[in-house]
Structure 1
Amino acid sequence: MMNLRKFDLNLLVIFRAIMTRGSIAGAADEVGLSPSAVSHALARLRIMLNDQLFHRTADGVEPTERAKEISQEVERGLGFISSAISLQHQFVPSEANRVFTMQITDYVSGFILPRLAERLQKDAPSVSVDILPFSISTDSVWDRVDVQIRLTPGRLQPEQVRSQRLVADDIVVLMRPDHPDALKPMTADLYAALPHVKLSQSATGTTVIDDVLAARGLERHMAMTVSSWFDIPDIVANSDLIAIAPRRLLQLDPRLKHLHSAPLPLEEVVFSFDLCWDLRTEREPGQQWLRKLISELFQEIA
């Protein structure tokens, strides 16, 4: 076990800056030091970690395999330290001036965002929310996103992700009432054969339906892919295309009341809407407040 009293933790901040910027000059700009000071810090790190860590290239520096191995642990450790320090600062919603960044699956954004806006206006008027698509790189998502509200049909892979179940729901297949196949039993083969309109992965954050069908040797015919749930009910009502939706939406979106619905014939698929966040920021006061607020809003909806 390394004696941390002999280790300058500021060196890890410089290491992270070099990894992020990919150059000594860029890292120096980020941490507010001269390029010479950053180079000296890197030399100390190389001795302490017994590795070159970075190789010079025409475009800057390239991390070694050892640097790549420790990068995630360094990032996680610095996150814990930052979170621990921030605990001394109380988060007062009515006084806070802050931007929270979120990813929200399109199925629930239509009914959660208006309620969230109403609560923010009432309780935290200077707090803003920035919504990002699910198409951003998963490698950097927790450096940019405070929380996710996502479909979670399976386990989350990253060890640093924590989650809370907001609501579980069944999935239904939607079609217009006079669809040629409306009276047929909905089977997996029929479901896969019918032309679909679906939400893009950037709106849902999951490909579980296609993965389950592929395991059965089936593949959907994607006649149309849209980026917003708002477009789907009218498309289904005026065509032979089918779609899927959480059953709860049948009560929350009045446009669905006139559509025919049938249970999704893929029993291994159970959709839950989960609130997800980074373990490193779990105890940060602002994060705790936001997660509690979102949980309360879903309880009201349920």
Structure 2
Amino acid sequence: MRFNKLDLNLLVALDALLSERSISRAAERVHLSQSAMSNALARLREYFNDDLLVQVGRKMEQTPRAEGLANAVRDVLVRIEATVSTQPAFVPADSTREFRLLVSDYTLMTLMPHVLARVYDAAPNIRIDLRPQVAHPERALERADADLLIIPREYCSDAHPAETLLDEQFCCVLWDRATLASTPLTRESYLDAGHIVVLPGQGQPALEDWFVQRLGVSRRVEVTTYSFAASPQLVVGTQRIARVHRRLATLAQRRDPIVIRDVPLPMPAMHQTVQWHKHRTADAGLAWLREQLRLAVITMDDIASCGAHPQ
């Protein structure tokens, strides 16, 4: 099929080329031979009268023309995919669908066990692909690499719908034999301590670190890690302090010799949010899964309130 003399099949090849910036990886992505993808690139260059991709050292880079095309082509393909693949009804018990969720290890440890239990009970043949947090998560939606993002509201894109799943407070964790564990935690003692700081998503600052920067204070960072879940365990055997999501800290306290203290700084809550592509709002399967997320939050907090240890 052609539109304005362009073979529309070439749009799929163009999207893969601009996303992968590699002829071999683009060919693999759309199940073509490398020679067929090279031929597609040649035809695209001829149609647009532009190189689209140019070799710069060992990498291929987009030309300005290609940069202008990339988002528009991806948007068209996502819209077509959503229209074609969306079923008028979704029957969980009969479904064999795979859902791809982008989550942090905070969500992985706290919420996802409850989500998976609910999904398994209602739809045992559904597959869940849990993918790690990345920088610029909205790109995973727009490239169709993820069906849902579970991220703080501050990281959501204004271009796509989202809804808040839960509010989360931050707290401090210390080894239960640390000096600060047996004394009041003041602003001064907190800022003087050595800190463990999380840099998730390819080294980008975590939300709580962003909050601290806005307060205009600095900490003595002695350890950085990519894992929220590891932070409580990493303070054990040291005088260091880590600031952690309270639900995660409460889970860790059942396993590790730590104490939990309030943060002696004004810290706003984190609003954990689920976001999806604007063209997939009518997707009945995603609507069902979003409902499972909301119900799993209720289950998680009910269980925590029944089994919580007094602080």
Interval of TM-score (by shorter of Structure 1 and Structure 2): 0.7 to 0.9
Report the counterpart of residue 294 of structure 1 in structure 2. Answer: 293
The aligned amino acid for 2:297 is F
* Separation of aligned partners in 1, 2:26 and 2:257: 58
Report the counterpart of residue 109 of structure 2 in structure 1. Answer: 110
Report the counterpart of residue 169 of structure 2 in structure 1. Answer: 170
Report the counterpart of residue 146 of structure 1 in structure 2. Answer: 147
Q: Do the aligned partners of 2:172 and 2:263 also contact (CA within 8 Å) in 1?
A: yes
Q: 1:159 to 1:250 in 2, by over 3 A?
A: closer
* Separation of aligned partners in 1, 2:86 and 2:162: 21
Q: Shift of the alpha carbon at 1:22?
A: 4.1
Q: Shift of the alpha carbon at 1:194?
A: 1.1
Q: Does 1:70 align with 2:75?
A: no
Q: Does 1:97 align with 2:96?
A: yes
Q: 1:41 to 1:167 in 2, by over 3 A?
A: same
Q: 1:28 to 1:253 in 2, by over 3 A?
A: closer
Q: Per-residue displacement from partner, 1:114-173 (whole Å, max 9, x unpaired)?
A: 222322322222222222222477585333222222334x253x3434321111122111
Q: Which moved more, 1:102-111 or 1:205-214?
A: 205-214
Q: Give the gaps of 5 or more residues in structure 1.
A: none
Report the counterpart of residue 54 of structure 1 in structure 2. Answer: 52
The aligned amino acid for 1:218 is S
Q: Do the aligned partners of 2:110 and 2:247 also contact (CA within 8 Å) in 1?
A: no
Q: Do the aligned partners of 1:170 and 1:247 also contact (CA within 8 Å) in 2?
A: yes
Q: Which moved more, 1:281-290 or 1:256-265?
A: 256-265
Q: Do the aligned partners of 1:17 and 1:27 also contact (CA within 8 Å) in 2?
A: yes
Candidates 42, 45, 49, aligned match of 2:44: 42
* Separation of aligned partners in 2, 1:39 and 1:203: 31
SS in 2 for 1:94: helix
Q: Does 1:222 align with 2:222?
A: yes
The aligned amino acid for 1:184 is P
SS in 1 for 2:75: helix
The aligned amino acid for 1:150 is I
The aligned amino acid for 1:225 is T
* Separation of aligned partners in 1, 2:150 and 2:155: 14
Q: 1:137 to 1:248 in 2, by over 3 A?
A: closer
Q: Do the aligned partners of 2:45 and 2:52 also contact (CA within 8 Å) in 1?
A: no
RMSD, aligned α-carbons: 3.8
Report the counterpart of residue 210 of structure 1 in structure 2. Answer: 209
Q: Do the aligned partners of 2:135 and 2:204 also contact (CA within 8 Å) in 1?
A: no
Q: Per-residue displacement from partner, 1:165-203 (whole Å, max 9, x unpaired)?
A: 11112211122455323423421x432321233445149
Q: Do the aligned partners of 2:174 and 2:235 also contact (CA within 8 Å) in 1?
A: yes
Q: Does 1:281 align with 2:280?
A: yes
Q: Do the aligned partners of 2:169 and 2:269 also contact (CA within 8 Å) in 1?
A: yes
SS in 1 for 2:238: coil
Q: Shift of the alpha carbon at 1:298?
A: 1.0
Q: Compute the TM-score of the two structures, normalised by the length of structure 1.
A: 0.76
* Separation of aligned partners in 2, 1:119 and 1:65: 47
SS in 2 for 1:76: helix
The aligned amino acid for 1:42 is L
Q: 1:21 to 1:109 in 2, by over 3 A?
A: closer
Q: Does 1:262 align with 2:264?
A: no
Report the counterpart of residue 160 of structure 1 in structure 2. Answer: 159
* Separation of aligned partners in 1, 2:25 and 2:171: 51
Report the counterpart of residue 123 of structure 2 in structure 1. Answer: 124
Q: Shift of the alpha carbon at 1:99?
A: 2.6
* Separation of aligned partners in 1, 2:42 and 2:223: 58
* Separation of aligned partners in 2, 1:27 and 1:223: 38
Q: 1:109 to 1:138 in 2, by over 3 A?
A: closer
Q: Give the gaps of 5 or more residues in structure 2.
A: 302-311
* Separation of aligned partners in 2, 1:89 and 1:262: 50
* Separation of aligned partners in 2, 1:201 and 1:164: 22
Q: Which moved more, 1:56-65 or 1:168-177?
A: 56-65
Q: 1:89 to 1:7 in 2, by over 3 A?
A: farther
